Amino acid sequence: MKTIRAVSIVITVVLLSFASFALAGSTTSTSTTVKDGKKITTKVKTDNQGITTTTVTIKEKDGTVTTTTTVADKDGNIISTDDPEARAKAELAKKDREEKQAALASAPKRGPHDPIQVALFQTVVSEDLRKATTKDGVFPYLRKEFDNDRVIETLDQTQVDRYAKDYDFRTGRARSFSSFDRGPEFLPADVYVESFAKMEQKVGISKATNKLASAPFLVYTARITSEYGDTSLEVTEEGFILANIEVTRKFAEKIKAAVRNEIGPNIPKDAAMFRRGTQGMSVERINASEALRNIFKKK
């Protein structure tokens, strides 16, 4: 009876161990702004290879509509375009990136015990696994493995979840249509971790029957992306689905090891100077915040 009860508890954990955020093979964002009476709509689509297609539609006051499309590779080099200004803009952007990379390369690096700010995104699960889960999902168990780590400091989960719903961390662009072009938004993170989970039938020799048999396995994959450059790592872990707690623990340990040992040594000591989130904070936004605070100051 004790064995049966233990198994039932583990099965319950499996059912409670999965959550998902939709993640497409490509990301698309659209923004619209009005300038000098012109309505300018920009649509940006980035695929898995980093190829970005930017479509700009301009509607004039008299109703005339013009559309230009620019395709660029992951390094910002233009593959094709019908926008006469696109190549000049790309060259300026490339020069800016090169200057930032040079500054980053020469900057002092963090020490082995200095904190690393990590954004953990909700785990994405396969459709068949989704059908066997409850709303709480696996992510709370994975997230718990990062608590009290001496080096890795995870960002507030509510902040990360809200951001992931509205923005693509690679570009900082909003995922959905916006009537105002607010510019890109970024999290104050050094590392971004996307995790994926699925259930697979694995074939092997059964210890009980000594014959071929199949069993459900929990298969994890994580994509770990550095804020500083193009570094992206992938780690995997799998195991019998009834041992899901141990599989999740081992998966988390692999992620933490990759963050500390592979990405960590290349993070600048003064990380805030090089984060896009810091660089993207405009003077106008800072002044607006200060102005709001001043409203409520006692006279």
The residues that bridge with 167 in the sheet, in sequence order, are 174
- For 90, phi and psi rounded to 5 degrees? -65, -40
Q: Which two three-digit tokens encode residue 63?
A: 């109703």
Is residue 277 within 8 Å of residue 188, measured between CB atoms? yes
pLDDT, one tens digit for every residue, the chain (299 residues): 333 333 332 333 333 333 333 344 567 777 788 878 888 888 888 887 788 898 989 888 888 888 989 998 877 788 888 888 888 888 888 888 888 888 888 999 999 999 999 999 999 998 887 776 666 778 999 999 999 999 999 999 999 999 999 898 988 888 765 545 566 889 999 999 999 999 888 877 767 777 777 888 899 999 999 999 777 899 999 998 888 899 999 999 999 999 999 999 999 999 988 998 664 333 333 333 443 344 344 44
What domains are there in the chain, each with its CATH number?
2-25+112-295 (3.30.160.100)
CB environment 102-132: b (16+ within 10 A), e (fewer): eebeebeebeeeeebbbbbbbbbbeeebbee
Are 235 and 222 in contact by the 8 Å Cβ rule? The answer is yes
